[in-house]
Amino acid sequence: MDLFIQNFASFQSFLLIYPLLLQGLEVTVLLALVSLPLSVLSGLGVAMIYSFGGPLVQRLVVMFIDLLRSFPVLVLLILIFYSLPFFGLTLGNFTAVVVALIINNTGYFGEIFRAGLQSIPKGQHEAAAALGLHRFHTTMLVILPQVLRKVLAPLASNSLELVKTTSIASMVALPELLRSARVAQEQTYNPTPLTAAAVIFFVMLWPFSHWVSRMERRAIIGSNRR
């Protein structure tokens, strides 16, 4: 047990490297704060195009969503960061990671919103039209609030996955939490920084994960009662 503590939970090593971990945590949180709302908005935009489009547009949107979801986000990041310079476009590592996360998660959030829009009965649209509401106003004021209630659990679950996926930033040497822990490990010759990074991720994400699980269970119970 003492040997395990010395190698994976050394308090002395932690005291030496915790400022580096805090810097990495700051980058991780910033990545999430920038990528998450933009991904949600872009996914919602794709779903709205599907909602307002005709049959051809809807088929194209579904193909677009499937295309985005089929690419691993790590592959997207490598293509964006290392391939775009050959076409005259060079992105910084932070921007490249944000773009990769947005592109990948647009597909997932878009599918969530699209499924939510399709779950609303057509009678809701017909009733709003009978009241004289324009289609856009019907969607924004009547349909979308119902959709948000229905898809809150999958939205939260995918948001949690996005935050965890920010660790791919280490592949382009962006000093997020995981990258900082690896650098600290090289400095201390001790894996304690990786253990500390894992603990930080757990403390940061477990309450949110627990909340997501509760929402998912409530959604399942509610659907079974219907």
Specify the residue for token string 């929402």: 215
Supply the pLDDT for residue 191.
Answer: 84
CATH assignment of the domain containing 98: 1.10.3720.10
What's the pLDDT score for residue 105?
94
Would you say 216 and 153 are in contact if contact means Cβ atoms under 8 Å apart? yes
Only one residue has tokens 């060079």, namely 90
Rounded Cα distance between 191 and 52, Å, is 53
Q: What pLDDT does 142 receive? A: 83
Residue 176 contacts residue 21 (beta carbons within 8 Å): no
Give the global pTM: 0.86
Amino acid 3: pLDDT: 63
- Give the pLDDT score at 28: 93
In the chain, how many domains are there? 1
- Domain ranges, residue 152: 2-225
- pLDDT for the residue 100: 94
C-alpha distance from residue 1 to each of 8, 162, 190, 193 (Å) = 10, 35, 16, 18
H or E element: which one contains 88? Answer: none
Burial (CB < 10 A; 0-12, 13-18, 19+), residue 100, is buried
The one-digit pLDDT tens for each residue of the chain (226 residues) are: 666 666 667 777 777 788 888 999 999 999 999 999 999 999 999 999 988 888 899 899 989 988 888 888 999 999 999 999 988 898 999 999 999 999 999 999 999 999 888 888 888 777 777 877 777 778 888 888 888 888 888 898 899 999 989 999 988 888 888 888 888 888 888 888 888 888 888 998 888 888 888 877 776 655 555 5
208 class by beta-carbon count within 10 Å (0-12 exposed, 13-18 middle, 19+ buried) = middle
**pLDDT value of position 46:** 92
Tokens of 78: 């490598």
Residue reference for tokens 């290392």: 82
